[in-house]
Structure 1
């Protein structure tokens, strides 16, 4: 039997690699996805081989991640439950897609992942497998009867088998970094009455610990896609990295949220998404002057469903693809530049400009000389309110 394991070199997948080899007497191919974690890939590859992998794939997916997942999400202003910008959710289908490609190339019998049976990642991985290669067997050790029941057990197994892991029992919360964000979950963070420890932040600084410092930044878009910062054009990966640096030093994009997982429970996550927050706030501001009212309002409803589908792991669902087509069509006019002021966790829009701008001072001005005839509003309001007026005459509920 040949199994391709989505491997990170962390506690779970390090133990799982050795466990799979023992339990299934199988050949294990480790697959590592580089979505911007800034790891020592040579060390991780060597660790996988030393732990029992017959072969290790290290795939650079940063550009694919940004162009095929992050930028489409920015076009959609994709946000789950008001705050979460879906950093982990967006990476999983990109990672799983490449895993399937490797499994098919290697003639593997199965794919495996280290997601638990309590989280969302299991769904994101497995729905991608099912959509792209439904014939492959899916192995999820955390959901098997003879696997371990806690991360403390995994640490014991790792110590017994001489597997080095970056987590200890005294600091067991997990981190999941990529180019778009870092998530912190589990361990001490499971006490929702307890504040996070700001020393854990890696992409930026806690805004409450910053000195007074204001920075201006401009973001330019072409058809909804960010293409330049402060007037300097950059390739997608570099642009997101630079946005992270700029926004991170001002504590932009830190979120502490108790969210509703797909499997039915609530969980706490602390997220850093500095560059993503900057880009989405700029994108919203540009849409506010380039999208007409009905399209903008309908898109806002679509955005909620779009974000939910990403969170639920339905990236390759035909409805998500159809919604993306609608969103892309709205972005044909979303080109221009937005200026923002950054200060202690705040990202404030202070200016916007676009050749497609629908903002017309001759219509909106309160001064004399407007092209708008206010007398036209009299008949409009009468007809617009006619159904309410007729109902009120027959049903005077408002008098109670």
Structure 2
């Protein structure tokens, strides 16, 4: 790969990406543009601007953008229409943020005339794959620089030495080994590494940053009603809200009631297993609510088909194939299933749990006349079930007769 002339860097303002910024300048003698996304990580982003300026980046080359609404509307909500869970448990909070970051990196590269993008993901993790597959899907000619796969800064000591040699400020608590690594956005918080690397050892309480411990949550349950239109949440307790505002509100409810904690050992795409602590308070409530409204509005054939493809859909997102044709094909099927997923769900939040306790909709398929234990006034003829059972039993009878004959 020829040396890049101008690079757009996914920049957090932290130590690692600040080192990467300076390394790009010194290694390639190239112009650097920084992009910092406000994904709802809960941190002040102005320090990232000041750090970039201090490292010699011109103001016009510093991009700091609030993408929370786009993140929830165009990435999180489509994923939640599928009820996506990786390996049955993980709500994909980190995975779903990477295609949006990559999309903006490629767009900014086009706007600024840059010929390359760069990220701070290591060569051991999934994020390198997600960033790069997304970038290449959007611009097959873009160069991607992954410093962790190129440089010789292979230890925390070497990183700190490089930082000090280039006058990059190092926070005091960074001079020792960080207790764990954290990634956060509006959907979740992910903690990995160090004190969490032994999956047999309980995670320390201080790892949890976004939720109260369930045992410390209020002793009184709280009710919340979430309104849906075509599979997307549109209101809380009757108040119409934007996608990002809905998730923010649900995060606060989940925080108070200790909802959304997960201690999980997952299979990374690159082949190894890793242990992570995830907190997805609002997403956990949203998933339960979406399941609740689907229970009365989604036909069984459509719902069962949708559930059968969900693991594949979740795996595509986890592995970085958001912009692949197969994910888009599955999305079209999923979105078709959501045409009548409209109505309201009431949930009870209590001690780490979000539980559906009521659901109603003008699009409901639920017929009390058919399921009542009282007189159904002719809505359903129970005698019809006899022929239904006999037809479904026919092949089983033939199998049993054959097996009995062979045994005899």
Does TM-score exceed 0.5, indicating one fold? yes
1-structure distance, mates of 2:359, 2:170: 48
Contact (CA 8 Å) 1:17, 1:52: kept in 2 or not? no
Contact (CA 8 Å) 1:290, 1:358: kept in 2 or not? yes
Aligned-residue offset at 1:11: 2.8
Structure 2 counterparts to residues 72-151 of structure 1, below 5 A? 72-144=78-150, 146-151=151-156
User: 1:208 — aligned with what?
Assistant: 215
1-structure distance, mates of 2:258, 2:280: 10
- Residue 396 (structure 2) pairs with residue 392 (structure 1): no
2-structure distance, mates of 1:156, 1:287: 55
2-structure distance, mates of 1:159, 1:194: 35
Between stretches 84-93 and 52-61, larger displacement belongs to 52-61
Between stretches 352-361 and 383-392, larger displacement belongs to 383-392
Unaligned runs of 5+ in 1: none
User: 1:57 — aligned with what?
Assistant: 63
Between stretches 27-36 and 191-200, larger displacement belongs to 191-200
Unaligned runs of 5+ in 2: none
CA separation of 1:94/1:183 partners in 2, compared to 1, >3 Å: closer, same or farther? same
Aligned-residue offset at 1:174: 1.1
Between stretches 187-196 and 363-372, larger displacement belongs to 363-372
- Residue 40 (structure 2) pairs with residue 36 (structure 1): yes
1-structure distance, mates of 2:113, 2:245: 35
User: 2:391 — aligned with what?
Assistant: 383
User: 2:238 — aligned with what?
Assistant: 231
Match of 1:11 among 1, 6, 15: 15
Compute the TM-score of the two structures, normalised by the length of structure 1.
0.95
Aligned-residue offset at 1:193: 1.7
Contact (CA 8 Å) 1:48, 1:56: kept in 2 or not? yes
SS in 2 for 1:339: strand
Structure 2 counterparts to residues 198-277 of structure 1, below 5 A? 198-277=205-284
Structure 2 counterparts to residues 123-202 of structure 1, below 5 A? 123-144=129-150, 146-165=151-170, 167-202=174-209
Contact (CA 8 Å) 2:370, 2:376: kept in 1 or not? no
Q: Aligned pair count?
A: 399
Structure 2 counterparts to residues 298-377 of structure 1, below 5 A? 298-369=305-376, 371-377=379-385
Contact (CA 8 Å) 1:112, 1:139: kept in 2 or not? yes
CA separation of 1:28/1:290 partners in 2, compared to 1, >3 Å: closer, same or farther? same
Compute the TM-score of the two structures, normalised by the length of structure 2.
0.93
- Residue 25 (structure 2) pairs with residue 25 (structure 1): no
Aligned-residue offset at 1:160: 4.3
Contact (CA 8 Å) 2:218, 2:256: kept in 1 or not? no
Aligned-residue offset at 1:369: 3.0
Aligned-residue offset at 1:152: 4.7
2-structure distance, mates of 1:159, 1:191: 32
CA separation of 1:256/1:297 partners in 2, compared to 1, >3 Å: closer, same or farther? same
1-structure distance, mates of 2:215, 2:24: 45
Moved over 6 A (4+): 397-400
CA deviation vs aligned residue, 1:56-82 (integer Å, no higher than 9, x gap): 111211111011001111111111111
SS in 2 for 1:332: coil
Aligned-residue offset at 1:156: 4.0
1-structure distance, mates of 2:380, 2:254: 41
Aligned-residue offset at 1:200: 3.2
CA separation of 1:105/1:399 partners in 2, compared to 1, >3 Å: closer, same or farther? farther
Contact (CA 8 Å) 1:152, 1:169: kept in 2 or not? no
CA deviation vs aligned residue, 1:131-154 (integer Å, no higher than 9, x gap): 11111111101111x332234532
